[in-house]
Chain A
Amino acid sequence: MKKSPFHFLTYVLVIGAYAALQVLQARGGLSSSLRGMLVPICAYVVMAVSLNLTVGVLGELSLGHAGFMSVGAFLGTSTAIALQDAVPVPAVRLTIALIVAALFAAIAGFLIGIPVLRLNGDYLAIVTLAFGEIIKAIFNNLYLGVDGKGVHISLLEDTTRTAETGRLIIQGPMGIGGIQKISTFTAGFILIMISLIVIFNLVNSRAGRAIMAIRDNHIAAQSVGVNIIKYKMMAFVTSAALAGSAGALFAMNYSTVVANKFDFNTSILILVFVVLGGLGNMLGSIIAAAVLTILPEALRPIAEYRMLLYAVLLIVMMLTANHPFVRAFFNRFRQTGRLRLEADGDEEREAV
């Protein structure tokens, strides 16, 4: 399978957008509200491209992507707080936190994947939906403290008995407070680039071909000797890990983080980015995530109707995308691309 020229274009546009925004920011050309949104946009972009790996490339529906974001947000941020004195350089601390966040989210993805990815059908959608809710319930009731004696954990009530010298980091429904805002736009940009490199390399590899073969026809994939569970797991765990680091990046842009921020609505919002941007189309996901994160800010007067607007947009997209006229229109593009190549060949032959 050939490398898509789309991949290259995606890198170029992301780097270009980053550079342009940096220049604008330096010249004071960004409003303060937009400046505040740069990191969340990066986090949502990573969420969208990582979910697109599961939904678009692997072809499995996940309705709990915010659950992985939550795991990453809480455990990554806790790590950063615990290391506050040991690792004074913020960039290094952030890097460690993002890696820890990715690891824990990957483990969560792996644990979910073991039972579910063996099955064919819509089980993953159901289980991830439940996973998102369970994670929310857990972090709403979790108390985690760190002191000289180590890590203390309790559920429902704070019985951690964290020493005065230590710190109670996760405080049940109050979440984590007093976070140092160490996430930066540059860190977000780097995380987007790493996500793209990981995803595009996976898609272009032998493993990527196996993953897409499973999406296309899992019986055929099985019959050519593809280890279905392994490659499904590879895509799903990668997707979860990236979402985990996006969660940590997101959380450390604010002074507090609570579990309710990563709920079903957030999962659906990210799914909307993916569907609007196009299944398997990473550039589309990036644009959809960025535009739909900025848009509500721009449309603040009608913010209450945001979810309604998305629902309507989705329905309109589905209807038009399946409309014979629209299909014929896009097919014509595709075919003319191919036909033109062949026609060129013919002309050359005639010229000779």
Chain B
Amino acid sequence: MTRQDLLKKLGNKKLTDMFERMFEIRTFEEKIQFLFLEGKMPGTIHQYIGMEACAVGVCSALKEGDIIGSTHRPHGHAIARGIPSREIMAELYGKTTGCCKGKGGSMHIGDIKKGMLPAIAIVGGNIPVVMGMALAFKLKGEDRVAVSFFGDGASNEGAFHEALNMASVYEVPAVFVCENNLYGASTSIKKVLKIENIADRASSYGMQGMIADGMDVLDVYDKASKVVGDARSGKGPTLLELKTFRYCGHSRRDPSNYIPKEEKQSWKKKDPILNFERVLLEEKIIDKSGIKELKDKIDKKIEEAIEFAQNGPEPKPEDTYSDFYVNMEVPR
């Protein structure tokens, strides 16, 4: 689809919504980075800064009943899928008002009722699960699609290969979204992969492979809606590779000294939010004051989310025993 057609198809409302979501992810992540470094937030965090176009582009192509699976780096996926920021924030603080009632934490953000499996922090771990969810949709004849997000690093796990092969063989309505940010923790993919494009791996499973520019939300949306549509209409699963980059460290206080400065700088020039903002302004979809209004709104929203989280109720210690077996108390 040409850019103009795409813009027309999406319409002003959806385009600004997409921008808003991307900006919400960026703001959320920047604020918690600060809170974390100040020691106000418990646990560890893996952030999504720089990758916003991936989650928003894909999730904007989904419908209400669809479901996503995510990784140790789930905040962006969760916001893009529509889990309220305040519930994510409260989860990061371990409060009962969090989306997993404080049981999950940063690496397990999700809410099955809102279309997101609690994130799985075992690299590659969500891929077979998502394949199984898609299998259920097929067996039950439901008009739903399951989407797995994972990284370049995860594509070297056995779980990835087993799941993709099975998905292809059973022709399940799934999309496997590989966010290739060129590093798995500190390891450059050049050290651990002999091929250039992870999407090429699709061919070994007789599956469609596709590549999108993960820094361009419109390109991600365009390709994602095509392959989600394929899955929905029974044409089988796709491996969709998004070429992207994370500006932040892998986790916590990682200064990412293993990434050359020039590489970081060259990617920052392709910033997904700045670029999309430029497109929206050029196409007169929104004006400067509209952008400012929207950014102020998001800023306030995240500040409120922090307040909601910090002031939220702590669980009771004995809550450790709740939410486990469906029909049995935890034997003590």
Q: A and B from one assembly? A: no
User: Which residues from chain B sit less than 8 Å from chain A, CB to CB?
Assistant: none
User: Which residues from chain A sit less than 8 Å from chain B, CB to CB?
Assistant: none
